[in-house]
Structure 1
Amino acid sequence: MTDAWSPMTNYDTRSYWEGCREKKLIIARCGDCRYWIHPPRGVCPKCWSDNIGYEECDGVAKVYSYVVLPAARQDNSGSDRITVWAELNDQERLIVVADMVGSAPNEVAMEAPLELAWSEYRGHPVPVFKLRAAG
């Protein structure tokens, strides 16, 4: 058994994962009504168009929700794991779920400003978020 991991891709998710390889946050977007779509799918949930393209987002976001997995519940991590539902500033309810890095659980708050960062998971770049400095 190998420890290798590779993201599961299909026609709709391929652009997202290819963007991750280049450390770019690529999100599906309807070419007709300009609605952002994540997770990516082949039909716009707003106007039902299948004219879906992919565009880069800058990753500026805020905490929509979060959960903390205490270190004691994890295998050999030594620190708490924070997962955020990051609401991108590009559109209301455009949510990316990812780990949060560089902060302790007591530093996280609802609607706290976030910025995109990158981490490696088994040799693959994956998006993570960190608190954005005020100003």
Structure 2
Amino acid sequence: MPDHAPPAVPARVLPKLTEQNRAFWTGGADGQLLIARCTKCAMWVHPPASDCPECSGALVAQPVSGQATVFSYTVNQQPFNPAVPVPYVVAIVELVEQADLRIATNIVDCDPDSVRVGLPVEVRFERQDAGDDAVYVPVFAPR
């Protein structure tokens, strides 16, 4: 799938790419949310780690559906970063692939007052240029 994600506005504080997290932060180039999965016990692991916390098996990044529900959230009204307009929603979403498989993210493309626990959401990506690399920040929107 070609890279069609537009550059995001506003700029974000971007992660340092490592061997462990590169797939998660760059999978959006192909429209895929990549999460580490154990080759031994099949447990999904996030945030990325060096090995499975359950069985010490090797982890391999694999695509997930990108479907989730809002587990918890807050609506920020304070302009902590002047480049980020308020209000904005910071949330923990739980992916449908596994109970307790959660990601910290932003909820986008909706009125902050419409966000609620249990809201079905799906992944989208915001492209950010980070030096020679592009990072694709997974954000979620109502489905």
- What is the TM-score of this pair, normalised by structure 2? 0.79
SS in 2 for 1:130: strand
- Alpha-carbon shift at residue 67 of structure 1 (Å): 1.5
Residues 76 and 52 of structure 1: is their aligned pair in 2 closer, same or farther, counting only changes over 3 Å?
Answer: closer
Q: Hey, what's the Cα distance between the residues in 2 that align with 1:96 and 1:29?
A: 15
1:126 is the counterpart of 2:133: no
Aligned CA RMSD, in angstroms, stands at: 2.3
Q: Hey, what's the Cα distance between the residues in 1 that align with 2:17 and 2:70?
A: 27
1:8 is the counterpart of 2:24: no
Q: Hey, what's the Cα distance between the residues in 1 that align with 2:90 and 2:28?
A: 18
What percent identity do the matched residue pairs reach? 29
| Partner of residue 86, structure 2 | 79
1:69 is the counterpart of 2:80: no
- Alpha-carbon shift at residue 115 of structure 1 (Å): 0.8
SS in 2 for 1:63: strand
Q: Hey, what's the Cα distance between the residues in 2 that align with 1:16 and 1:116?
A: 13
Q: What is the aligned residue count? A: 129
- Alpha-carbon shift at residue 78 of structure 1 (Å): 3.9
- For structure 1, the 5+ residue unaligned runs are none
Moved more, 16-25 or 55-64: 16-25
- For structure 2, the 5+ residue unaligned runs are 1-10
| Partner of residue 58, structure 1 | 65
Q: RCO (CA 8 Å, sep 6+): is it higher in 1 or 2? A: 2
Q: Hey, what's the Cα distance between the residues in 2 that align with 1:12 and 1:96?
A: 16
